[in-house]
Structure 1
Amino acid sequence: MTLVGNDDKRRAAAECDDCGEIGIVQIWPDGSLQPLGQSNFCDCESPSLAVLETDLDHDERP
């Protein structure tokens, strides 16, 4: 599914640098990250998230 319009948001796998929790985030055009389907990424007070993989919608088969 391709997003159309000014909403150039992407989904990505991300990991909390503090506890190692992995989840899916939405990457906004300004670079900010927002967890998908939940208000908090993990139980850390101020999680520091690192993007692991982008373009989950992209088919990378040879």
Structure 2
Amino acid sequence: MGNPDDKHRAAATCTRCGEIGIVQVWPDGTLQPLGQSDFCDCPSSTLRVLETDIDDRP
């Protein structure tokens, strides 16, 4: 099992508008958009991870 302090990046989408971007996934499951404070312009967006471990691609 990995270190509980490990976080990773993942592709995610807003379930309201479909905007796609990269998020930081924290060990507790919290998603934080990278390079911006908000993922999209939706008033209350819910993010869904599309793909994990993008750092591990060949």
- Normalised by the length of structure 1, the TM-score is 0.83
Bigger Rg, which one: 1
Quick one: percent identity of the two aligned structures? 70
Q: Per the alignment, in what secondary structure is the counterpart of residue 57 of structure 1?
A: helix
Task: Answer 1 or 2: which has greater helix percent.
Answer: 2
1:58 equivalent in alignment to 2:40: no
Structure 1: gaps (5+ residues): none
4+ long deviations beyond 6 Å? none
Question: Aligned Cα RMSD in Å?
Answer: 1.3
Matched pairs, number = 56
Give 1:8's aligned residue: 6
Q: Aligned letter for 1:10?
A: H
